[in-house]
Structure 1
Amino acid sequence: MVLYLVRHGRPILDPTVPASTWVLDPEHEHQVADLATQAPWPDDAVWFTSPEPKAARTAFLLTGRDVPVVEDLREHDRSGTGWVPDFVDVIREAFATPYSEVRPGWEPISRTRSRVADAVRQIVAEHPGRDVVLVGHGTAWTLLAAELTGTEPDLDRWRTLAMPDVITVE
């Protein structure tokens, strides 16, 4: 069984609304189509997506169909704050202090890690022996990969993830 953790395509950045509501940038949807032509996953893989619009649209573009949504695959919750100009620094702080709310309304990274890992363990248990493709987000996938491999989150990999991109966990 292999997990394919697909990071969504490039969204339209709108600092006036929460990132969880951002949609894919139509001008960059061809990058998702390019990823589909290089798909490392088998045709019979089981698919699930985060509920966020950018992830659900990426999943649709990769499969040509609606993909089941799993609420707990959503990204690290960063509600309560608007645009964060020093985003990379703040995320580094969140990873360094995983049990803290580094900004008002932000989910502690440890909670994101547990939430996503629990959801994925349930998916895997419900589909034994099947390869699984999950479409979601960079921070959530970085935390999940660390949880499943028993390693520290790879922040350098997180920083260099493309939109879209794939992390494979065997």
Structure 2
Amino acid sequence: MTLFLVRHGRPLVDTSMPAHTWELDPQGYDDIWALRESGRLPARAAWFSSPEPKAIGTAALLTDSQVGVIDDLAEHRRDSTDWIDDFDDFDATVRRAFAEPDVPAYDGWEPLAECRCRVVAAVRPVVATLGEDDVVLVGHGTAWTVLVAELTDAEPDLDAWQALAMPDLIRLDEPFAT
């Protein structure tokens, strides 16, 4: 089995709403279609998505296959609409979440340890059930960073997280850490 972890396309940012409600930015569709045509995604796979609109929209543009929605694939929950304007401040806040995963790194954010537990618990049965079949999961950068660390038994790669594009793809081949 190979897991293909797709980070969603560019969202249409509305700073008055929490990020988990954002839709895709139509101006970013070409980037998603380019990923679809790149040959980097498997021709046959089971497809699943986070419930967030930007992830579901990305999946719909990437495949004609049926896509299951798994609620616990949602991104690191950031329910605050208190917008962090400066990317360096946002980056530092996310890095703080990784450094201290048991406490919220920002008002309205879930502790990163809860995200890790939720996402890993959602993916393990998919991997166990589908056996040899390839799986495409469409979701989010921070969630995929903690999942990759868990499945590879490695420290989270925050430089790789920071370098992720929208959309982007992470490929993980078995065996996965147990």
Range into which the TM-score falls when normalised by the shorter chain? over 0.9
The code of the aligned residue for 2:165 comes to A
1:87 aligns to what? 90
Per-residue deviation, 1:31: 0.5
Matched, 1:114 2:117: yes
Alignment: residue pair count:
170
Per-residue deviation, 1:129: 1.0
The separation in 2 between residues aligned to 1:154 and 1:81, in whole angstroms, is 27
Per-residue deviation, 1:65: 5.1
SS in 2 for 1:5: strand
The separation in 2 between residues aligned to 1:33 and 1:59, in whole angstroms, is 11
The separation in 2 between residues aligned to 1:147 and 1:66, in whole angstroms, is 27
1:54 aligns to what? 54
SS in 2 for 1:80: coil
CA RMSD of aligned residues (A): 1.1
Per-residue deviation, 1:54: 0.4
The separation in 2 between residues aligned to 1:105 and 1:11, in whole angstroms, is 20
1:6-155 map, 5 Å: 6-64=6-64, 67-85=67-85, 86-155=89-158
Contact 1:42 1:131 in 2 (8 A): yes
The separation in 2 between residues aligned to 1:73 and 1:95, in whole angstroms, is 18
Gaps of 5+ in 2: 174-178
State which of 135, 146, 156 in structure 1 corresponds to 2:159.
156
TM-score of the two chains, using structure 1 as the length reference:
0.96
Per-residue deviation, 1:42: 2.2
TM-score of the two chains, using structure 2 as the length reference:
0.92
The separation in 1 between residues aligned to 2:131 and 2:66, in whole angstroms, is 22
Runs of 4+ in 1 over 4 A off after TM superposition: none
SS in 2 for 1:134: strand
